[in-house]
Amino acid sequence: MSKEMLEIRWHGRGGQGVVTAGKLLAETAMGAGQYFQAFPDFGPERMGAPIRSFTRLSSRPITIHSQIENPDVVLVLDPTLLGTVPVTEGLKEDGILIVNTSMSPEEVRQITGFRTGKVFTVDASHIAIEEMGREITNTPMLGAFARATGLFDLDALEHQVREWFGEKVSPSVVEANVRVLRRAAQELREG
């Protein structure tokens, strides 16, 4: 996927790392010499409430300063949002939808009504629980994003994950995040 500007919308629940994932992606873009914006959108901040986050990546300076209404890519970190939140609203016809779920891409198409573009699924929750012992799906979804879009290679994202988490958590947690990143990219399904 190569566009001058790529607009990404993230859907999840408070506490799932939706904002962090958008920032990690933006910092990876910065490392690749791109311009970026990363910002959240939520009402009353509370754990478990549906939230959105936005990321813009561009090869040129970004002069738009608004929410993303027609994203190129939508990532859904919490599958319980499917059918309750209009996650595909405004998604471009040739867009990419990436969902954390054990469902097939075809099942996601049926639930969301997204008939055009590409749909990818990965069971990021299962991967996170197996590798980290906790259902934190933002890092595996970054791996899924990298493979689905081809925008960044996993080495660049791995480097950013190590930089971002290196001073904040133990080395074993950093390595677990690297494993989930790579594993989600491998287990991504397209349909």
Written as six digits, the tokens of 58 are: 């561009």
This prediction has a pTM of: 0.93
Give per-residue pLDDT as tens, 10-44: 999 988 888 888 888 888 888 888 999 999 886 65
Band of residue 48 on the pLDDT scale cut at 50, 70, 90: confident
The band of 188, judged by pLDDT with boundaries at 50, 70 and 90, is very high
pLDDT on residue 108: 98
- The domain ranges of the chain are 5-190
Q: How does pLDDT run across 51-78, given as a tens digit for each residue? A: 899 999 999 999 998 999 999 999 999 9
C-alpha gyration radius of the chain: 15
Comparing C-alpha atoms, which of 79, 77, 81 is closest to residue 53? 77
Q: How far apart are CA 190 and CA 19, in angstroms?
A: 25
User: What would the pLDDT profile of 80-135 be if each residue is shown by its tens digit?
Assistant: 999 899 999 999 999 999 999 999 999 999 999 999 999 999 999 999 999 999 99
Note the helical H segments in the chain.
18-31, 105-112, 124-132, 138-149, 154-166, 171-187
**For residue 139, pLDDT beyond 90:** yes
Q: Which CATH class is domain 5-190?
A: alpha beta
pLDDT for position 43: 61
